[in-house]
């Protein structure tokens, strides 16, 4: 998992509340568990004018020119700005997979669905919860080329006008993101202790390890 330390990036404003996981990545794409290749199908029903199917080549699909991610000024975005209850609906981990595969590193909203929020940290995405008034201000500031700087170490967001916004994050989740540790990598930090336990366990109960 790629570490998240400090990010200065373009912001895409998705001015919608209650965006559910089926909107983020529709159900027909859940057949795959590869964790990659979902980016082209992110917000599929909003980005395209036809129905997407797994393994489809999206190069020549008809796009919706009014959807924010299809507009030229939002190509290369890494920060998503949205409203309350983002990621509601079913608990599919494919939703953060699709967002990360598309290129997003952080999502700013007034609230998130709990399971989606937890899944973001497991997949290298930083979900940031801000007061609704602050989110309103960020939407009002939006313009061509609008960027924010997110510093995870200091837990701050800096706007183009040099305003600084603080945000909260659990210390354990912060540690994981700063060091790029998913569940497996976090476990492997204790590999020596696990190996020592297994050696001792084999001595105490050798019948469990007999061929």
Quote the CA–CA distance of 34 and 30 in Å, as a whole number.
10
**What pLDDT is stored for residue 31 in this prediction?**
82
- Provide φ and ψ at 166, rounded to 5°: -95, 150
Q: What's the pTM value of the predicted model, to 2 decimals? A: 0.88
CATH number for region 6-180: 3.20.19.10
- What is the reported pLDDT for 211? 66
pLDDT one digit per residue (tens) for the chain, 211 residues: 889 999 999 999 999 999 999 999 999 998 877 778 999 999 999 999 999 999 899 999 999 999 999 999 999 999 999 999 999 998 889 999 999 999 999 999 999 999 999 999 999 999 999 999 999 999 999 888 999 999 999 999 999 999 999 999 999 999 999 999 877 766 766 677 778 778 788 778 888 777 6
**Residue 205: per-residue pLDDT:** 81
The percent of the chain in helix, strand and coil, each rounded to the nearest 5, is 40, 15, 45
Phi, psi of 202 (to 5 degrees): -65, -30
Q: Where are the domains of the chain?
A: 6-180
CA 196 to chain centre: 36
Task: Give the Å distances, CA to CA, from 40 to 14, 69, 144, 175.
Answer: 17, 11, 23, 30
């Amino acid at each position: 998992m790629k570490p998240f330390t400090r990010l200065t990036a373009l912001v895409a404003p998705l001015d919608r509340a209650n965006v559910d996981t089926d909107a983020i990545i529709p159900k027909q794409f859940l057949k795959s568990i590869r964790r990659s290749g979902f980016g082209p199908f992110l917000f599929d029903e909003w980005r395209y004018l036809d129905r997407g199917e797994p393994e489809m080549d999206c190069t020549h699909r008809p796009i919706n020119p009014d959807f924010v991610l299809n507009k030229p000024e939002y190509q290369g975005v890494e920060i998503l700005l949205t409203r309350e209850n983002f990621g509601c609906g079913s608990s599919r981990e494919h939703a953060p997979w699709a967002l990360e595969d598309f290129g997003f590193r952080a999502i700013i909203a007034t609230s998130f669905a709990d399971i989606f929020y937890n899944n973001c940290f497991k997949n290298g995405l930083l979900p940031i919860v801000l007061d609704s008034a602050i989110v309103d201000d960020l939407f009002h500031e939006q313009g061509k080329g609008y960027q924010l700087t997110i510093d995870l170490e200091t837990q701050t967001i800096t706007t183009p006008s040099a305003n600084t916004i603080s945000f909260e994050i659990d210390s354990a989740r912060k540690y994981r993101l700063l060091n790029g540790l998913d569940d497996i990598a976090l476990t492997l930090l204790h590999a020596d202790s696990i190996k020592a336990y297994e050696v001792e366990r084999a001595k105490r109960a050798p019948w469990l390890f007999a061929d």
